[in-house]
């Protein structure tokens, strides 16, 4: 029996939690070990820091969408950026992001629910 076949049988026995007899008489026994999945989770402060680093650049909106996927609610509109900005709130992280609708870039981001940023912050 090929080594790859032995490894495949060993892997299947691990997944199924069974003992499998290999034709040459070797017994492969494995217990189903708990699989631990560690999710890469960003803290709200690290998200704010990463978006602030690219604020005003095209990749800032992409990063915002990646971090706050299906978690943003519009809470306000105000003049700023190159026309109007939309303030989007993340309830999960308690963070408000101000997005320029003309150029699709983040112009401001802060912790907390902010319906209107100071005009100097959203230039």
Q: What is the mean pLDDT of residues 13-24?
A: 50
CA distance 98 to 84: 10
Q: What pLDDT, on a 0 to 100 scale, did the predictor assign at position 42?
A: 79
What mean pLDDT comes out for the span 61-89? 94
Sorted by where each begins, the domain ranges of the chain are: 1-36, 44-122
**Span 29-35, average pLDDT:** 47
Q: Check pLDDT > 50 for residue 7.
A: no
In 3D, which of 13, 7, 14, 18 has the Cα closest to residue 34?
A: 14
């Amino acid at each position: 029996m090929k080594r790859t076949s032995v490894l495949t049988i060993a892997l299947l026995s691990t997944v199924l939690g069974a003992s499998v007899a290999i034709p040459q008489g070797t017994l492969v026994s494995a217990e189903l070990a708990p699989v631990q999945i560690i999710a890469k989770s960003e803290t709200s402060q690290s998200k704010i820091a990463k978006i602030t680093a690219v604020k005003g650049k095209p990749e800032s909106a992409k990063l915002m969408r990646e971090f706050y996927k299906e978690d943003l609610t519009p809470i306000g509109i105000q003049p700023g950026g190159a026309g109007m900005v939309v303030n989007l709130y993340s309830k999960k992280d308690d963070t408000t992001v101000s997005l320029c609708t003309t150029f699709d870039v983040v112009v401001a981001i802060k912790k907390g629910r902010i319906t209107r940023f100071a005009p100097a912050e959203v230039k």
